[in-house]
Amino acid sequence: MAFFTHHISRSFSSSAARSVVIKNVTIIGGGQMGAGIAQVAASTGHTVTLVDMSEDILKKSVKGIEGSLKRVAKKKFAEKPEAGEEFIQKVLQNVSTATDPAAAAPTSDLVLEAIVENLKVKQDLFGRLDKLAPAHTIFASNTSSLPITDIASSTSRQDRFGGLHFFNPVPMMKLVEVIATPATSQETFDSLLNFSKALGKAPVSCKDTPGFIVNRLLVPYMMEALRLHERGHGSKEDIDVAMKLGAGYPMGPFELSDYVGLDTMKFIIDGWSEKDPDNPLFAPSELLNKLVAEGKLGKKTGEGFYKYK
Ligand SMILES: CC(=O)CC(=O)SCCNC(=O)CCNC(=O)[C@H](O)C(C)(C)COP(=O)(O)OP(=O)(O)OC[C@H]1O[C@@H](n2cnc3c(N)ncnc32)[C@H](O)[C@@H]1OP(=O)(O)O
Ligand SMILES: NC(=O)C1=CN([C@@H]2O[C@H](COP(=O)(O)OP(=O)(O)OC[C@H]3O[C@@H](n4cnc5c(N)ncnc54)[C@H](O)[C@@H]3O)[C@@H](O)[C@H]2O)C=CC1
């Protein structure tokens, strides 16, 4: 516990008593991240509405949640498969879906966005949500790389806007980065922090700087692996084995890039490179650009650096 207290302390006094208790959650974007967050929120007793652009996408999202819940239940209820099935059904009952945020935003305590990593698209979404959601509703973004301040600027609730950055795969990864902008109120920060804990996650506090903590360190490392390979200094297979067996990473950088999504990797590095073109850590990779142009976005499309069945 001392660990959390140390990391999440902020420079002003706490007013947790007035923070919003988050129970009803709308999650926009039912992809890898949104579906994972919806699953964990529903598993911990929250009422979740998952929003995406079509019924077909949402069907896939719910199927993915069900598949992941089966993996969780298999372990959690190893001795009692019936209790595992009951758990799955109970969690699924907490999840509903919609193609229009207007269906749920008016009754939500939190609207969390996990859509495509594009500033304009995120701003448009939040601008619209701002008119739909009541005053107490907190907005948060799961962005990997964009400034929360810039996303929040399309709303009139900068004090009730923060970052809540989860990690892939959400049901397995314990960390959540909680980001307060200079305009985020202490109550909002406390609410987001308490929500992260209610999900069973370990929150850390981050400044609103590009990539927060993890991605600012991890993405340049992953890009450096690509550049090393492009220079002909190692095969992707050897680089992956080397980083797993020599540095203790659970996945090598090529496996992890495929897992994250090559489109997301490209959005991140292009955005940073545009802002800081002279920084060699943010230099683009021709190989990454080529794969994205070919629609090979990694595990989610069946092929990236590697092929998946
Ligand atoms: C880009 C950003 O903004 C930020 C990011 O997210 S960066 C990416 C951060 N994520 C990482 O670095 C992930 C690194 N990888 C890992 O930690 C691990 O490889 C992993 C947890 C993903 C998988 O673990 P593994 O031991 O390598 O593989 P695997 O055998 O498939 O999984 C082990 C168990 O984990 C569990 N598991 C894995 N993925 C799961 C999921 N999506 N849902 C539920 N359970 C899951 C299962 O219990 C699984 O056992 P079963 O196969 O019997 O179901
Ligand atoms: N992939 C990763 O490892 C991580 C990604 N993130 C961030 O989370 C966000 C989502 O990433 P992923 O889930 O990986 O992407 P994804 O491509 O799997 O899913 C994105 C989903 O958003 C939907 N969408 C796009 N625009 C929309 C809109 N206007 N309204 C409703 N739905 C919309 C798409 O249909 C898609 O289902 C991005 O901002 C990304 O940077 C954060 C942490 C980890």
**pLDDT tens for each residue of 167-214:** 999 999 999 999 999 999 999 999 999 999 999 999 999 999 999 999
Q: What is the pLDDT of residues 224-247, one digit of tens each?
A: 999 999 999 999 999 999 999 999
Q: Are residues 163 and 230 in the same domain?
A: no
- In the chain, % of residues over pLDDT 90: 92
- Per-residue model confidence (pLDDT) at position 10: 44
Of 207, 237, 263, the one marking the end of a domain is 207
275 within domain boundaries? yes
Ligand 1 pocket test: pick from 148, 172, 255 the residue with the most ligand atoms within 8 Å of its Cβ.
172
Is 229 contained in some domain?
yes
**What is the average pLDDT value for the chain, to the nearest integer?**
94
pLDDT (tens digit, 9 = 90+) per residue, 143-163? 999 999 999 999 999 999 999
Compute the distance between CA of residue 51 and CA of residue 28 in angstroms, rounded to an integer.
5
pLDDT per residue over 33-87, tens digit each? 999 999 999 999 999 999 999 999 999 999 999 999 999 999 999 999 999 999 9
**275 touches ligand 1 (CB under 6 Å):** no
Closest atom of ligand 1 to CA, residue 249: 14
Same-domain check for residues 68 and 157: yes
> Which of 176, 207, 238 finishes a domain?
207
One domain for residues 49 and 139: yes
For 209, residues 6+ apart whose C-beta sits below 8 A from its C-beta are 147, 216
* Residues 189 and 57 grouped into a single domain: yes
For residue 197, is it within any domain? yes
Inside any domain, residue 309: no
In this structure, how many other beta carbons lie within 10 angstroms of the beta carbon of residue 80? 12
Whether 301 is in a domain gets the answer: no
Is-above-0.90 flag for pTM? yes
Atom of ligand 2 nearest to the CA of 145: 41
With 80 as the cut, is the pLDDT of residue 17 above it? no
Q: How many domains does the chain have?
A: 2
For residues 266 and 132, membership in a common domain is answered with: no
Any residues with CB less than 8 A from the CB of 151 and at least 6 apart, and which?
113, 119, 122, 123, 126, 141, 143, 161
Contact 128, 43 (CB under 8 A): no
Cβ(177)–Cβ(140) below 8 Å: no
Helices (H), 77-147: 81-93, 119-132
Tell me, yes or no, whether 116 and 232 share the same domain.
no
Residues 269, 171 within the same domain: no
Return the exposure string of 184-199: e unless at least 16 CB atoms fall within 10 Å of the residue's CB, then b.
bbbbbbbbbbbbbbbb
Same domain, 168 and 272: no
Q: What burial class does residue 134 get, using C-beta atoms within 10 Å of its C-beta: 0-12 exposed, 13-18 middle, 19+ buried?
A: exposed
Residue 77 lies in a domain: yes
CATH for 37: 3.40.50.720
Q: CA distances (Å), 19 to each of 131, 175, 190, in order?
A: 22, 22, 6
Q: What is the arithmetic mean of pLDDT over 262-287?
A: 96
Burial category of 131 from C-beta neighbours within 10 Å (exposed 0-12, middle 13-18, buried 19 and up): exposed
pLDDT band, residue 19 (cuts 50/70/90): confident
ipTM surpasses cut 0.90: yes
Residue 179 in domain: yes
Which CATH number goes with the domain that contains 240? Answer: 1.10.1040.10
Contact 38, 30 (CB under 8 A): yes
- Can you tell me the distance from the alpha carbon of 164 to that of 144, in angstroms, rounded to the nearest whole number? 10
Does 9 share its domain with 125? yes
Can you give the residue range of the structural domain that contains 135? 2-207
Is residue 105 domain-shared with residue 145, that is, in the same domain?
A: yes
Q: Which atom of ligand 1 lies nearest, measured to the CA of 264?
A: 1
Flag whether 246 is marked binding: no
Evaluate whether 121 touches 115 at the Cβ level (below 8 Å). Answer: yes
Q: Are 178 and 162 in contact (CB under 8 A)?
A: yes
CA distance 264 to 141: 15
Q: Is residue 244 part of a domain?
A: yes
Closest C-alpha to 141, from 33, 215, 46: 33
How many Cα atoms occupy the beta-carbon half-sphere of 212 within 13 Å? 27
* Same domain membership, residue 221 and residue 203: no
Ligand 2 mean position, distance from CA 19 (Å)? 28
118 CA → ligand 2 middle, Å: 10
Last residue of a domain, one of 207, 227, 253: 207
CB burial of residue 22 (10 Å; 0-12, 13-18, 19+):
buried
Rounded CA gap, 15 and 11, in Å?
12
- Tokens 């406390």 belong to 190
Residues 68 and 110 in one domain: yes
